[in-house]
Amino acid sequence: MAKLYPAKPEKVYFFGTCLIDMFYPDAGMAGIRLLEREGIEVIYPQGQTCCGQPAYTSGYHDQSRQVAEAQLDLFPGDWPIVVPSGSCGGMMREHYPQLFAGTARAEQAQAVAERIWELTDFLLHVCQIRLQDLGEPMRVTLHTSCSARREMRVADAGPALLQQLDNVELVEPERATECCGFGGTFAVRHEQVSAAMVSDKVQALSATGAMAFATTDCGCLMNIDGHARKEQQPLSGEHIASFLWRRTHPAAEDSR
């Protein structure tokens, strides 16, 4: 069944995610600015914390529910909730209804889940954004996270946005659908397997000849970019929101 997209709203909520809050605030600000440039008022609830995914995927559902419950009251208006991460978006849209099933919060969790949108999907299909590239010619490759691809099912959105940039040559790596090895706590609990997976991913991205890669999730960005630096690979990463804003806003390019 084809996905139904609403008309562009006047307002949205923005759920920033833990990794953006702690490590990549520029990506969050870029996402907000891209939305605001489309004429949308962005509401950022100050009480937001974690979506609860780390505990949930580790099997600690009671603890995850406690964390997730604190997020449910942050979005009282009937506006879309835009998330710059397929991972957190997938948790909130796909797993909140199950996590709160049979509880007093079940109806509220379902209502929140139905309003979750991944950022690139929202920009492309709801805002119908049209990007004007102001940057120099360059070759870029893209890594789409497993959750964005398989849970949120938005793997087409990132490439479509990058392909709007006239001076960007987008090259697809081999085995593009494979995981980078991060997987939240998977990278900690299965360190050697995770390290082998990210090594393969860095090699595949580097083999495209691109000096830069974009990704739709900061967990993947941290993992791939960190390994590339460790292996002294001439490959640098950036969240796709930061990349799009920098390429299409002259002040952003000048201040980099």
Indicate whether 140 and 249 sit together in one domain: yes
Phi, psi of 141 (to 5 degrees): -120, 165
Q: What is the tens place of the pLDDT at every residue in 126-145?
A: 999 999 999 999 999 999 99
Is the per-residue pLDDT at 165 higher than 60?
yes
Q: What is the tens place of the pLDDT at every residue in 218-230?
A: 999 999 999 999 9
**Could you tell me how far CA 194 lies from the centroid of its own chain?**
20
Whether 175 is covered by a domain: the verdict is yes
Indicate whether 243 and 163 sit together in one domain: yes
Q: Which of 65, 92, 125 is the last residue of a domain?
A: 125
User: What pLDDT, on the 0 to 100 scale, is given for residue 148?
Assistant: 97
Closest CA to 67 of 25, 40, 95: 95
Indicate whether 26 and 91 sit together in one domain: yes
Residue 250 binned pLDDT confidence (cut-offs 50, 70, 90): confident
Q: Are 158 and 216 in contact (CB under 8 A)?
A: yes
Q: Are 52 and 99 in contact (CB under 8 A)?
A: yes
Whether 4 is covered by a domain: the verdict is no
CA distance 92 to 83: 9
Q: Which tokens belong to 156?
A: 């087409």
Q: Which of 125, 157, 179 is the last residue of a domain?
A: 125
Closest CA to 245 of 254, 235, 233, 234: 254
Phi, psi of 231 (to 5 degrees): -90, 5
User: What pLDDT, on the 0 to 100 scale, is given for residue 256?
Assistant: 46
User: pTM for this one?
Assistant: 0.95
Q: Are 81 and 71 in contact (CB under 8 A)?
A: no
Q: What's the total number of domains in the chain?
A: 2
Q: What is the tens place of the pLDDT at every residue in 106-122?
A: 999 999 999 999 999 99
Residue 252 binned pLDDT confidence (cut-offs 50, 70, 90): low
Indicate whether 162 and 217 sit together in one domain: yes
Indicate whether 86 and 191 sit together in one domain: no
Q: Which domain holds residue 164?
A: 131-254
Is the per-residue pLDDT at 188 higher than 90?
no
CA distance 228 to 49: 29
Indicate whether 58 and 106 sit together in one domain: yes
Q: Are 18 and 92 in contact (CB under 8 A)?
A: no
Is the per-residue pLDDT at 77 higher than 60?
yes
Indicate whether 102 and 60 sit together in one domain: yes
